[in-house]
Amino acid sequence: MAPSVTAPNLATIPTIGAVKGLSTQEAAERLKKFGPNAVLEPKSHPIRAFLMKFWAPVPWMLEITFILEMALRKPVEAIIIALLLVGNAVLGFVEEGRAQAALEILRHRLEINARVMRDGKWLPVPARDLVPGDCIYLRMGDMVPADAHLIQGNIEVDQSALTGSLVITPRLILLLLFANDFVTMSLASDRVTPSPHPDRWNIRVLMWSSAVIAISWLLYCFAVFYMGRHFMKLPATQTLVFLALVFSGLATVYLVRESRAFWKSRPGTFLLCATAGDVVVVSAMAVFGILMAPVPIMMVLGLLAATIVMMFILDVVKKPLMRRLVST
């Protein structure tokens, strides 16, 4: 969540029942006892940081070259290489120090403040000064300044800064790779009809056709995400987006395997079995909440039906583009 830019009117924040928070004296004592609410970054000694500049692939090559030059009794070349090695280390050490100083200034300027109840009043306090027992107030758009227990109201937290993913989690990405790979590999045994004469492909048309299909599926997945975010919680939305990506990936395989209407030729047995297996497995995982948040079975079936409708629409759009793809 992005931190709030404008300071709120603290007088308008509602009271929380019998919770009165801590007094300023209690907070100071606990801060002294437990320390600041911040992750202390270990700082290496400057001498060690400088010596580490000689421990990297590029310095290793220079060091080996220096040793070889000394072994070959070429002192002039060895001195030049040594000067380059030391100069590179000094330059890297100085630049890293400047970068760390600039980063430290930026951290101080972007310091997070929290609204905390102290002495029975809501006060703005730096997040690093929070202590166990503090009562904080969060509103939409705030960053969560510390581990906390929710005692009133509802809250939905964006954990993408921790997981590295908002729309879909790394676990679902891994499942998505497995689900799509089996179907893609099964194309190797698909039915192929040879062309009666040599063909010459129009690469520009091929790129435009691919772009149209890709953008269409992208908009479709964004629409699924938009609907999920407005009517479901974030974990269920992630499951819904995962299903949309799997179903759209399967549909794309059938769209691009045939330049005519996708039902004009029967797919290979292995391709059909892999597709059916993918649909059944990922749908069951979504319904029963295996490795993902559960969603209702009717929603899974509705999404599958919507994907099939989308596939028919794209097939109609694809055919006039594909007619221009191959020229003899």
pLDDT tens-digit map of 94-123: 888 888 888 777 777 777 888 888 888 888
| Rounded Cα distance, 165 and 255, in Å | 29
- Cβ neighbourhood burial of 88 (10 Å; 0-12, 13-18, 19+): middle
- Look at residue 326 in the predicted model and tell me its pLDDT: 57
What order do you get walking across the sheet with 121-126 strand by strand?
Answer: 121-126, 113-118, 136-137
Beta bridge partners of 200: 327
What is the secondary structure of 200-247 as a DSSP string?
EE-HHHHHHHHHHHHHHHHHHHHHHHHHHHHHS-HHHHHHHHHHHHHH
Is it the case that residue 185 has pLDDT exceeding 90?
Answer: no
| Rounded Cα distance, 129 and 31, in Å | 7
One CATH from 3.40.50.300, 1.20.1110.10, 3.10.310.70, 3.30.530.80 for 161-327? 1.20.1110.10
Q: What is the pTM of this model?
A: 0.54
Domain residue spans in the chain?
1-157, 161-327
- Look at residue 260 in the predicted model and tell me its pLDDT: 78
Mean local confidence (pLDDT), 126-135: 87
| Rounded Cα distance, 135 and 142, in Å | 15
